[in-house]
Amino acid sequence: MSPKRIYNFNAGPAALPLSVLEEIQKEFLDFKGSGMSITEISHRSKWFDEVINEAVARTKRLFKLDDRYSVLFLQGGASMQFAMIPMNFLAEGRTADYVNTGTWSTKAIKEAKILGKKITVVASSEDRNFAYIPKNINYTAEATYVHITSNNTIKGTQWAQFPDTGNVPLIADMSSDIFSRPFDASRFGLIYAGAQKNMGPAGVCMVIIRDDLLKMVPDTLPTMLRYTTHTEKNSMFNTPPCFSIYTAQLVLKWLEETVGGLDKMAQINQQKADLIYGLLDSSTFYNGTADVDSRSRMNVTFRLPSEDLEKKFVAEAASNDMGGLKGHRSVGGCRASIYNATSLEAVAALVAFMKTFERNNA
């Protein structure tokens, strides 16, 4: 009997491709003829070397990264990057711009301020509860970087196009939409993403960093908090989160070989988003919370006419084998996270359920 799998709309940790889970299961007791599982192997072994090098190579191919970029796998989550970025790049006299588009941006700004760094919040969508991505932003010409959150997991908004910041490098928290679409990576000085939304299990954060930024890293920082420590050691200054990196490698292999790359992935993600937003637009029962031009293709946030109906919706969905539809505890409402590994079939099933629920409860 095959195990029961539900339609998983969790925001993070989130769904992984079934074929990846099956591959892990298949090779778990004997990884590549080693007679050990991947969790029992030295990170200095040839087996693990191959895993991490493949993960880096696939990332570079998928994003068309040139030689100036290093791909790192660090611990501490995306949240650690909120502090590491200003620590590494904002020496005395330097400043950075931040765009505040929600809960995670707010946390990134807070960390820079705790460190006493000089930053400017050049735009914010807080005035309307972060329902949109600000436009026509004036960036500071002498800023060391501009920090944005490419997809706002909790508020359900996403940058459709990345801003033009001239010569100032962009830094983006892509935790919840990395590998969901192609983009021009050469405009970015640094990209980071906790793995547990769109590329693997919790426990690892991908950091893609361009070499010109490495020149700014002060040697007064603790060793583990310096980017150069990790670029010099291929993310293996200390023991890396081996299992998380291994799983991420399999997810990237699935993206390249099964899905067929980021263009294909973006097409599928667009189809999924169109299905569910199409329903929101044709209904007066469901109300999307994000402005139409700022909608996320990863996290669809919506309200029902009452909180009681929202509770009933989440409960009935669960009894129909659809999980993870409750909105973030800080905002309420409902949220369907439709990351790469959530299939078109899952979204179609959700939309069918939503139509039935509306008929029975409107």
The yes-or-no answer on residue 107 being catalytic is: no
Contact between 310 and ligand PLP per CB under 6 A: no
Contact between 241 and ligand PLP per CB under 6 A: no
Q: What is the three-class DSSP state of 194?
A: strand
Decide if 152 contacts 78 (C-beta within 8 A). no
Amino acid at 162: F
Query: For residue 193, how many other CB atoms are within 10 A of its CB?
Result: 27
Q: How far is the CB of 58 from ligand PLP (least distance, A)?
A: 21
β-strand partners of 190: 171, 209
Of the listed 197, 254, 272, 326, which one is catalytic?
197
Residue from the set 100, 176, 249, 342 that interacts with ligand PLP by CB under 6 A: 176
Q: How far is the CB of 146 from ligand PLP (least distance, A)?
A: 16
The yes-or-no answer on residue 30 being catalytic is: no
β-strand partners of 326: 334
The yes-or-no answer on residue 197 being catalytic is: yes
Residue from the set 149, 228, 229, 340 that interacts with ligand PLP by CB under 6 A: 149
Contact between 313 and ligand PLP per CB under 6 A: no
Q: What is the three-class DSSP state of 55?
A: helix
Beta strands in the chain (DSSP E): 7-8, 69-74, 95-100, 118-124, 146-149, 151-152, 157-158, 170-173, 188-194, 205-210, 287-288, 299-303, 322-323, 334-337
Residues in the chain: 362
Site stretch for ligand PLP (CB under 6 A), options 51-59, 170-178, 246-254, 259-267? 170-178
Residue from the set 48, 59, 65, 77 that interacts with ligand PLP by CB under 6 A: 77
Of the listed 104, 177, 272, 326, which one is catalytic?
104
Site stretch for ligand PLP (CB under 6 A), options 73-81, 183-191, 248-256, 280-288? 73-81
Tokens 């074929």, residue located: 19
Q: Which is nearer to ligand PLP, 205 or 304 (CB)?
A: 205
CA distance 23 to 14: 18
DSSP string, 269-306: HHHHHHHHHHHHHH-SSSEE-S-GGGB-SSEEEEE-SS
Binders of ligand PLP among 202-231, rule CB under 6 A?
Answer: 205
Number of amino acids touching ligand PLP (CB under 6 A): 13
CA distance 362 to 357: 8
Contact between 320 and ligand PLP per CB under 6 A: no
Contact between 175 and ligand PLP per CB under 6 A: yes
Residue from the set 88, 125, 153, 158 that interacts with ligand PLP by CB under 6 A: 153
Q: Which is nearer to ligand PLP, 150 or 353 (CB)?
A: 150
- The catalytic site residues sit at 104, 173, 197
Contacts to ligand PLP by CB under 6 A: 12, 77-79, 104, 149, 153, 173, 175-176, 194, 197, 205
